[in-house]
Amino acid sequence: MTKPLIIVESPAKIKTLKKFLGAKYNFASSVGHIRDLPEKEFGIDVEHNFEPKYVNLPTKKDVIKKLKDSAKKSDIVYLCPDPDREGEAIAWHVAAILPKSTKLKRVTFNSITKTAVLEALKHPRKIDLALVDAQQARRLLDRIVGYKISPILSKTIKRGKGTSAGRVQSVALKLVVEREIQIRNFKSIEYWKILTKLNTKSKEKPFDAFLYSVDDKRVEKEKTDKKDVFLIPNEKTAKAIVDKLKKATYKVSKIEKKEKKRYPTPPFITSTLQQEASRHFGFSANRTMGVAQSLYEGVDLKSKGFEGLITYMRTDSVSIATEALLGARAYIKNKYGNNFLPESAIRYKSKKSAQEAHEAIRPTNLYLTPDEIKELLTLDQYKLYSLIWKRFIASQMKPAIYDTVSCDIETDKKIILRATGSNIKFAGFLKVYVEKKDISEEEEEIKLLPHLEEGKTLLLKDIISDQSFTKPPAR
Q: Which residues are catalytic?
A: 312
Q: Are 201 and 462 within 8 A, CB to CB?
A: no
DSSP state of 50: T
DSSP state of 265: P
User: Which residues is 259 bridged to in the sheet?
Assistant: 403
For residue 308, give the nearest of 251, 265, 365 by alpha carbon.
Answer: 365
Q: Are 36 and 66 within 8 A, CB to CB?
A: no
State the burial class of residue 109 (Cβ atoms within 10 Å of its Cβ: 0-12, 13-18, 19+).
buried
Q: How far, in whole angstroms, is CA 193 from its chain's centroid?
A: 34
- Please write down the long-range contacts of 142-148, taking CB distance under 8 Å and 24 or more positions apart: 142/166, 142/167, 143/37, 143/42, 143/43, 143/44, 144/44, 145/170, 147/42
What gap in Å lies between CA 247 and CA 36, rounded to an integer?
78
| Burial state string for 23-47 with b = 16 or more CB within 10 A and e = fewer than 16 | eebbbbbbbebbbbbeeeeebbeee
